[in-house]
Amino acid sequence: MDVGVAWKDKSLNIGFLYNQYLKLDSKGIFQVGWGVRGSHLKTNTLDYTTAPSELTRGKSGLAINAPIIMKNIDTLQLKTSITSFNFNLGFQLSLFNRLDLGANADILGFALGTRRSGFYLGSSGFNKVDSLNLHQTYQEARPTGLAIQFPQDHVKGTLNSELFARLRITERVAVKVSYLLAVSEYKTNNILIDDNRRFRLRSKMLYVGLSFPINQ
């Protein structure tokens, strides 16, 4: 079990990760794992930007090398408060019976959170449905419920991934430090410019926590 906190500037991410690892070789150096992560992301006012890949990259399929289309990027400025629970997959190298180096990523889950009012900055000012001028208006939004991990801008919902190092200081306690990428998403009540409702924030954070067994 990992318990800790990640932070950067206006963002704070508190969470736990319960996982199990399977040894792939006789010495137990190479290991694959799976588990469940729970986290609570809280921020001051930050810029969430247009999420769907067909708008950000101009393609609904894989767009690995496609540039971002800046004219399609709108902004929703709001404060974040999201609680998420996700199924997680990981890989680690266990060295010297003391040090673990690895990576993991949330794959599938869901998020909960209260409705928030955000300040919307539209690129063109009008939506396609009724030609309303939506630029510089306040819009209500909630966290996107379903979370699914996909490449680049195809990702949906609130998910975390990390590169980590874990150092055992006793038989039962270890210190964990990681580079955490927290992806969060809000969905507006109203259809906005380019018929979009989804807005995403990627937060790169430093994580520090403790690891300990709970099944021994």
Condensed to tens digits (0 to 9), the pLDDT of residues 64-85 reads 677 889 999 999 999 999 999 9
Those residues whose C-beta lies under 8 Å from the C-beta of residue 26, and which sit 6 or more positions away, are none
Return mean pLDDT, the chain. 92
β-sheet bridge partners, residue 62: none
61/171 Cα distance (integer angstroms):
48
pLDDT at residue 11, rounded to an integer: 94
19 closest CA partner among 86, 102, 99, 88: 88
Q: What is the mean pLDDT of residues 128-149?
A: 83
| 98 pLDDT higher than 70 | yes
pLDDT at residue 151, rounded to an integer: 86
For residue 56, the 8-state DSSP code is H
201 closest CA partner among 8, 4, 1: 8
| 86 pLDDT higher than 60 | yes
- pTM of the entire predicted model: 0.91
